[in-house]
Amino acid sequence: MMVIRPVQMEDLAAISELAAKTGVGVTSLPQNESSLEARIRRVLKTWSDEATQAEQGYMFVLEDTETKKVVGISAIEVSVGLTEPWYNYRVGTLVHASKELGVYSQMPTLFLSNDHTGYSELCTLFLDPDYRKNKNGPLLSKCRFLFMAAFQERFADKVIAEMRGFSDENGCSPFWESLGRHFFSIDFSHADYLTGIGQKAFIAELMPKHPLYVDFLSPEAQEVIGHVHPHTAPARKILESEGMKYEGYVDIFDAGPTLEAYVKDLRAVKESRVWRVEIVEATTGTTPYIIANDHFAQYRSLLAQPDFTETHICLTKETAEALQITENDTVRAVKLFAEEKNV
C-alpha cells in the first residue's frame, strides 16, 4: 500500500537518493545532504510548534508500506519571502507612443517583483520514476490540499507553485543563457544548485532591477517564457485541474511559470468532506478518493475506493490501520479527480 506521511529524520538517506534523480531545475530538492538535513529539522520544528512563521514548512513522503521504501516527496512552505526577498518576474507591457511620428508600440517586458511575499508555496514535488503509475503522482501532489483544508488557519490565503522551467537534455536553459549568464559567469546547473541550497536571494540581488524588454532576448529564450520542462507538464496539469492558474509571473532563472490560487478556491479544499468511519470486510466502490486522517502531527493520506452510507465512509480494516484510525473516527475525503478518468 502507498501511504503519505510526515517526513522523519530517518528518511534523509532516501530523500538524498531521490534528489540525485531529479536532474536540473528542481531547486527545492538539491543534491546536498546537509541542506536536506537542515530542512528536515526545520519542518520537524514546525510540526512541534517550535518554528517561527518565517521558518515554517511541511514535508510529506510517499512510502511503499510493503517495502518500507520512501519513493516520493512533496512539501508546503507556509510564508515565502519573510526572511529574504522572494523574487520573480512579472510579465507585463510597456507602451511607447508618439503622436507626431504616428508611432504606437506595445513591448512585452519583465518586471522584477516581490508580489508573492507572504504567500504559501507548494514545492519539492518529486516521484521516483519507477513509481510513476497507479495514480501515485496525483496522490503525492493533491495530499497537500487535504492537509491545507484541515488546517487552513496555518497557511496564507493564497498559495503559489513555481514550476520547473524548460531546459534541454544537457541541463541548458535558453532563458538563462540569454539573460542570467550576462550577469554571472556560471552555468545554469550551478545557479540552480546555489538556489537549492538557499542562495537564490543573493543571486537575484545581482540581477538587473530595471524592466527588461523581452524582444532583446534570444528567440529561444522568448519561446520558453511561461513554459515548463517536459517532465513537469504532468505536475502542472494536476495543479491546474485543482484551480491553480498562471497569472503572468515566471522564475528569474529559467522563466518557468508560477501558478497561484486562493486556498479556499482549490477544488480539493472546496469539495472535501469529513466523514465518520465504518470498518467493513470489503468495499465495492470504483471511484478513487484521497482519504486523510486530519491528525496534525500524525497525518496520513492514501488512495482508496470506499463505499458510502448517508452518514459514514466505509473502509477496510487494512485502510483504516494505514490511516491510523478506528471505527467511528473521522476522516476527510475527496474524489481524486474532478471528473472520473483513467490515468
Residue 111 near residue 157 (C-beta atoms within 8 A): no
Cell digits of residue 57: 514548512
Q: Write down the catalytic residue from 227, 229, 231, 295.
A: 229
Let me know if 229 is a catalytic residue.
yes
Nearest of 286, 283, 279, 284 to residue 322 by alpha carbon: 279
Residue 279 near residue 315 (C-beta atoms within 8 A): yes
Nearest of 82, 75, 258, 78 to residue 151 by alpha carbon: 78
Please report the DSSP string for 215-247 in residue order.
Answer: GGS-HHHHHHTT-B-GGGHHHHHHHHHTT-EEE
CA dihedral angle for residue 187, residue 193, residue 194, residue 196, rounded to 10 degrees:
150
Enumerate residues 6+ apart whose C-beta is below 8 A from 135: 288, 303, 336, 343
Nearest of 120, 123, 124 to residue 155 by alpha carbon: 120
Cell digits of residue 28: 527545492
Task: Tell me which amino acid residue 137 is.
Answer: G
Phi (first) and psi of residue 303, to 5 degrees: -100, 140
Burial of residue 49, with CB atoms counted within 10 A of its CB: 0-12 exposed, 13-18 middle, 19 or more buried: exposed
Helix axis angle, 233-241 to 136-150, nearest 10°: 40
Residue 132 near residue 232 (C-beta atoms within 8 A): no
How many CB atoms are closer than 10 A to CB 56?
22
* Residues annotated catalytic, as ranges: 229
